[in-house]
Amino acid sequence: MPMLQELLRDRFHLVSRYESEKRPVFDLVTDEGGIKMRPDGDTVPVSWSQDDGRTLFMAKTLRDLCERLGKVTGRPVIDKTGLQGKYVIVLTYLPAILTDNPAVQSSGAPGPGGDIFSAVREQLGLRLVPQHEAVDILKIDRIEKIPTEN
């Protein structure tokens, strides 16, 4: 049991369980043209935004990539590529709020971009495929508002 859950169980009498539910997800699969990432293990994951609104992030494993893509898309992303090891994964895209903005589209800002789905396909040689799959969901049955003493 993770340390935080154990603390919540001891102090707040947390009663929880995992339950499997079918939810909308994205499967991360290899595109027909093959991957465009190069193997590497020394890149440190970082994330930042550039001045023109584009977002750039780097990761080293597909697990890191799936976690970040899940945050961007709002759905869990499940690695179905079958690829192992570490890669140099660099992805630049325009956040959805900017891809729908005509002023940004016509600005002619240089460099790669586009929505997250196009960027994943064009820059990484991968695709995000919408699916409905069973996902483990943490369900809280009970928790006390006032903690017990230390």
- In angstroms, the CA 80 to CA 34 distance is 14
Residues 8-22, mean pLDDT to the nearest whole number:
92
Q: Which residue has the higher pLDDT, 31 or 113?
A: 31
Residues 76-101, mean pLDDT to the nearest whole number:
80
Q: Per the confidence metrics, is the pTM higher than 0.85?
A: no
Secondary structure class of 150 (helix, strand, coil): coil
Confidence at 70, pLDDT banded by 50, 70, 90: very high
Q: Which residue has the higher pLDDT, 110 or 91?
A: 91
